[in-house]
Structure 1
Amino acid sequence: MSNKPTLTQSELDILSLASSQAVTNAFSSLKGCFQRGVLLSDENPYSCSASDKLKTDWKDLEDQFRDDSLLEYLSASVLLHAYDGWSYLAQSMQSMIRGDLGAVRHLAYYAELRASISILASQGVGIYGCNNVVVDSAGCVYKFSKKSTHTIAWLSLEEWSKSSSSGELFGEEIAAFSRPLHEWLHEFEKTPLLNYTGASLINAWGCDLEKYSGDRGSRNEVSYQVNIKNPESGISPKNFYDFIKEIWEASDPSMLAFSSLDMHLLKSVLLRIYNDKGVIFGGKSYNDVVSQVCDDLGVGEYAKNFLKQRDGDPDLSILGHARNDRSTFDDYQFLDMFSRAFLLLRISSACISKMLKESGMSMDDFDFWWGEVAYSSGLVEEGMLVGDCEADIESLWIEIEDAITGLGEHLEEEVTCWKKFMRDGHLFVEPLSRLEKIAFFGMSGA
């Protein structure tokens, strides 16, 4: 008999009530706070140690109750958990540079966890230790589960990924060649509904939650046990450069944040549908189907050529790593975990994008927060930001472009020694390791 944790029927029933609209409504109500330069009112009782407050109040709370302050806190936490997730991933990248591969996995796991909690918060699920809640469409709060953070986060995300709201999110917020995913799937499968669910997408990207269970074992091994095996050299400076360059180019905000990644995601999804449901295409080749879809959508030859399958066609390595199922003790499992964390954070960025659009707000509304974060964390020099979101995002990206070019030129000397790589290339490596910038790219809708 399996000991794998599951949600009870009562928990499933409550989780089915979760509403993203209630969270968006609560976020809209924060505009007055933003105009005063704060994320939450000082009078909000959850602004400090929300988990502790719920723990203290839990016994006195009804199974269903109203608490607008909690809803406002939940909506603000969508942004904060996502940013913290990118910050963990940045620290994971910095550990990769140092060759501390155990720390890479450990920090990537926590990036995954924060991304998941951010996604769930946007959908009306609050994860607060062992006192977790669900918010319904009317803004009512329900006691949800007493399961621990790690367990309930993954179980809830897994269940959400099967829901229609998951499919709607992916269908609306993932876009390629100026067309949202749901239009591509409508034309590709000739069906009026987005029936390729969030669960299928997550599985296609290698972000399925069974693998995360394995990664939790990896996290525990790294966190609490000694490493008897001699550390491997990890990846070479050249391979590291190729990997970090791909991460940044996949997140390029110069046209639309994640547009490059979404093009590769689209191709991966279409290929998976074709391979899984080949019978519905009446014997036509994948390339013929893609050509017809591109013609029907009017997206042009570039999209058609990109999406066609060719022998030896290189996959985006992030997607390849994320699909891997390497063991805890595999020398390169750290790349798999890092890639899965990156993809989950991309999903959390999609949740933020949707929430901002539906609330009628933009990143300019809370520039007091992200600008201060950028300064205090050393992402930018004092005075670099001008207070215009579009211009500030552009300047953040220019620094990254310059660093990619500079580090690439540095590696033309065939540097193989990490000490020399860091000594001579540190001016380029440091900005490229600061993946927190990608949080801002995703929030900007640039």
Structure 2
Amino acid sequence: MGTFQIEGGHALRGEINPQGAKNEALQIVCAVLLTSEKVTIHNIPDILDVNKLINILGSLGVKIEKIGKGSYTFQSDEIDLDYLESDKFKQEGSGLRGSIMLVGPLLARFGKGYIPRPGGDKIGRRRLDTHFEGFIKLGAEFKYNREERFYGVEAPKSGLQGTYMLLEEASVTGTANIVMAAVLANGKTTIYNAACEPYLQQLCKMLNSMGANIKGVGSNLLEIEGVKSLKGCTHRVLPDMIEIGSWIGLAAMTKSEITIKNVSWNDLGLIPVTFRKLGIKVEQKGDDIFIPAHKDGYEVQSFIDGSIMNISDAPWPGFTPDLLSIMLVVATQARGSVLIHQKMFESRLFFVDKLIDMGAKIILCDPHRATVIGHDFKSSLRATTMSSPDIRAGISLLIAALSAKGTSVIHNIEQIDRGYEDIDGRLKALGAKITRVA
């Protein structure tokens, strides 16, 4: 188990280039299974979760070549379907939640897809029902081995059949999986209450460039006319909006002056607006974000009626739940109070006990809500020893440690490595005092 040692209390300075988007890459990399032709993808982040998925594709028989930093070619012309029922796949697939998105393209092109119950962050219930209900509506037969906790779907001999479906929840990965299955189905598929995050839009644009016929991209109503086959393409992954938000929070919390380069501003949605609600200055300079040093701190806004500021998550174009942990830790040094409402995952706020140990004033109201009373930098957080429970809590604790006086220790940093590329090296380039201990 890896460890970070962080000497906090130092202001940082410089420029940072955001990595490719983790959540997009996990979808895009699975989509290469939909064609036998070569697919080239640029700006893939070098992080544990994505690398695990690429390794699974290699075991499945996909020919993979790294052609540069973050750039790969994939060719799925000799797939070993027996691997899907092997003990090796059960072990590799169960350690990665993103492996669920292999099922849609495998079902569409090869008529069957299997997956062990996937792992990932322990942040609450994350149902797979939306994925499999969509496959069933397309005509697939659902199979579940309760003893081995192994899921599967098989298409009828006549192939998947397009249909109308109203999704129970606007699941991003569920929508992506169903879209990848529907592009090769017979006839027209209509998906209502579809997720419409930029990463899902990117997947649809990539599939259309491969010859798919998807309309309504960017809306919650997708219409997909099935085609017989798809061709190869070249695609570039967006910068990671969650990492961009993490750098904004880091800059404010450590009173640092940081420029975040090439952020694809139009794909950030409410992220800049939401940080401004905490009083953080987020300046647009072309396609860059400039965060000035907040030497006088930052003050939480209030609503027109004077009630406490409430920051909550919602499906796109609402504020992403992946940044609520960042907002919470940044609010601990704000001037004023804020209610953080995590609607989607009931275990995501449980890391606040570690922040309370550091001296933060937080009232955990229930599993979904926490009230934060900011210190206004009049009292620094205390250095401590802690462990990272998941990706987003991990980066939030790292930000807290970088702002605290003294030396903090964070264990289980593999959780952070799952979503953030070379985080310690990039922080050092900004002047942070952080050491990775094996």
TM-score, normalised to structure 1, is 0.25
The structure in which a higher percent of residues are strand is 2
Give the helix-richer structure, 1 or 2.
Answer: 1
